[in-house]
Amino acid sequence: MATDLALIARIKQRDASALAELYDRYGARVYSLACAILGEAMAAQEVTQDTFIKLWEHPESYRYDDSRFVAWLLMVARHRAIDHLRRERLRSGRTVSIDNGSFPEVLDAAHDVEARWRDLKQVLDALPAEQRDVIVLAYYHGLSQSEIADVLKLPLGTVKTRLRLGMEKLRNVIAD
């Protein structure tokens, strides 16, 4: 089995079979994350496709010295999903609300990354509600800090503080 770096090198040489191999390896993870963020299969499929098209069109954008490939790929997928959410919100005029009973579900928990995403729900549940809410709005709904302040009717500084404190707690828990 070829390494991720070897497959990326082949993609740079326009080897479509290398892209297919990476898709087979990580497609379910990308789709799972997109589903968790978007909550609908069709949009998640579109984001998954867009993510791998970006990899095909710009394989040089992954710099292996910065992070593991799967982390980079999931970051690309997250950004694509958030862009999709923002476009849909603008198009439809919908607003975002916090429903503490529903946390985005990650599909296919058979892999390490998905298991960590599933465990993240438990970690987020342990945070104070005000910190959890701003993190969910920022990372799962793709809202900016200003938009979060508007939705929650809070000063921007309060949102920034809650986000920073919540992220610090998450980092500490995950590091342990």
Domains of the chain: 1-94 (1.10.1740.10), 98-176 (1.10.10.10)
How do residues 31-87 score in pLDDT, each as one tens digit? 988 888 888 889 999 999 999 999 999 999 888 765 588 888 988 998 899 889 888
Which pTM does this prediction carry? 0.62
Could you please report the per-residue DSSP string of the chain?
A: ---HHHHHHHHHTT-HHHHHHHHHHHHHHHHHHHHHHH--HHHHHHHHHHHHHHHHH-GGG--TTTS-HHHHHHHHHHHHHHHHHHHHHHHH-------TT--PPPS-TTSHHHHHHHHHHHHHHHS-HHHHHHHHHHHTS---HHHHHHHHT--HHHHHHHHHHHHHHHHHHHH-
pLDDT score recorded for residue 116: 55
Condensed to tens digits (0 to 9), the pLDDT of residues 96-108 reads 555 544 444 444 4
pLDDT at position 85, please? 85
